Amino acid sequence: MTDAPPTDEGWFALHDFRTVDWDAWRDAPEHERNRAVGEGVEYLRTHEAVEDAEDGTSAVFSILGHKADLLVIHFRPTLDALSRAERQFERTALAAYTEQATSYVSVTEVSGYVSQDYFEEGEDADVDEGLRRYIEGKLEPDVPDDQYVAFYPMSKRRGEKYNWYDLSFEERAEMMSVHGDTGREYAGKIKQVIASSVGFDDFEWGVTLFSEDPTEIKNIVYDMRFDDVSSKYGEFGQFYIGRRFPPADLGAYLDGESVPTSEHETAHEHGAHGEAHGHAHGDSPHGGSDHGGAHGGGGGHAHGDSPHGESDEDDASGDIRGELEDLNIYAGQPHGEDVYATVLYSEADSDELFEEVEGLRGNFDHYGTHVKTAVYEAKERGRSAVVSIWDTQSAAETAAGFLSELPGIVSRAGEESGFGTMGMFYTVKSEHREDFVEKFDTVGDVLADTDGHQETDLMVNIEDEDDMFIASQWNAQEDAMEFFRSDAFRDTVQWGRDILADRPRHVFLA
């Protein structure tokens, strides 16, 4: 008999799919339609505000295709609260024009694949706070602001040839780890919620994916199909795809208008992008591995690429450094003096972001491999960079998993279009700080007129304003190299030798 991994459960989930009786809706008198819209909006508004329970979250989505028209997702601490939310909809006038096409009941779950230490020590033990907060985020999820949603149920195969439950824990954990590596390539692009439906519904898990870009949903599911955990052991139900809209737009939806309405889209575009972090964990379709690496728990994995967004075998990176060396420009070691860094960008308020980072950093400091974690604020644009540096690649990758849970994360360094370069850790002598900023403005004017240049940010450590970080984006590598060969850049390098406190490092992302 094989060992069953321990599990911990959180909030209960209901995916309530509704079809609209469009014939009845068209034939209904206007006053009845108005009443149905009004009561429907009030139901959705109060449940999205969680006025029906002590805690939880809800959201409504329009669904494409024949299988459903609307999806209302509820997460609540108890199964009774879900039952009440479902029945309260039936009391609205809108319910008379809909039918429940299908539904799915589950409960959020983490398992021993996430961290065996968490289960071995018990909930009341002195478990690392960073790990505990990560797990709590999985058990009590928010519905992010991302526009698009996909839902599908899945099970692990129990066939004569391939039976997931006949495998040892070690075999399963290894496959989940590989599966998780695939999922982490979508950090900043996909947010997922995994909920167990064993004993609750027809399949074993319900998977909900959120993204700003619907093609990323297709991409992650496609890529994961090639992992053994899916190709040999995965069985899937029907897939649903939809788009979130605010409760106030229900009338516009029923009138056949685009939702969200333009007013809501404008607000959304200028608001937080939600926590789109693409996790892979648990005994789940987008499984992961032990995220305890930075917390002393072994083989954790990053949400995203290897340090600085490039692999150790990146020949292009070596070529770039060689070209710069020929130009007498210091390019640093491939990972910055043999350390490893992960960089994520956030649009959250920098003070709020720093408060969260400070909590994680306190945990990181317990480990000898941690070098530095800091928040850098952009001089012009409304975003910040979270930089975490470690002595080992595995520790940096594990830290990335925790950091990607931070508020407002929108991207990883190197994932944007084109060729990315970063000049990191320009530590300026205090008396020359303003000179450095002024020089950056001058260089920025030159960059703005340079062919192939997209954008460049000067970012400053919010704890040490002498510590600068520069992020630059180009259409192609050759465009960046052309600038590095220029007299303007050469003059800047020469000038910097007098005002910098130490030698700068240039880290490149192809």
99 pLDDT above the threshold of 50: yes
Mean pLDDT within 131-150: 82
Percentage with pLDDT > 70 across the chain: 74
Q: What pLDDT, on the 0 to 100 scale, is given for residue 116?
A: 65
Q: What pLDDT, on the 0 to 100 scale, is given for residue 273?
A: 31
Domains of the chain (ranges, CATH numbers): 7-270 (3.30.70.1030), 310-509 (3.30.70.100)
DSSP count for the chain of H helices, then E strands = 16, 17
- The answer to which of 40-44, 301-305, 492-496 has the lowest mean pLDDT is 301-305
CA 337 to each of CA 145, 241, 373, 400: distance values in angstroms, whole numbers, following the listed order:
39, 46, 16, 20
- The burial of 122, by beta-carbon neighbours within 10 Å (0-12 exposed, 13-18 middle, 19 or more buried), is given as exposed
269 in Cβ contact with 176 (< 8 Å): no
Residue 8 φ then ψ, to 5°:
-130, 140
270 pLDDT above the threshold of 80: no
Mean of pLDDT over the chain = 78
Q: What pLDDT, on the 0 to 100 scale, is given for residue 504?
A: 63
Q: Which residue has the higher pLDDT, 305 or 170?
A: 170
244 pLDDT above the threshold of 90: yes
Q: pLDDT category, 208, cuts 50, 70, 90?
A: very high
Residues annotated catalytic, as ranges: 152
- The answer to which of 149-153, 423-427, 445-449 has the lowest mean pLDDT is 423-427
Q: pLDDT category, 119, cuts 50, 70, 90?
A: low
Task: Provide CB contacts within 8 A for 163, sequence distance 6+.
Answer: 157
Q: What pLDDT, on the 0 to 100 scale, is given for residue 18?
A: 98
64 in Cβ contact with 151 (< 8 Å): no
Q: pLDDT category, 492, cuts 50, 70, 90?
A: confident
434 token code pair: 């303003």
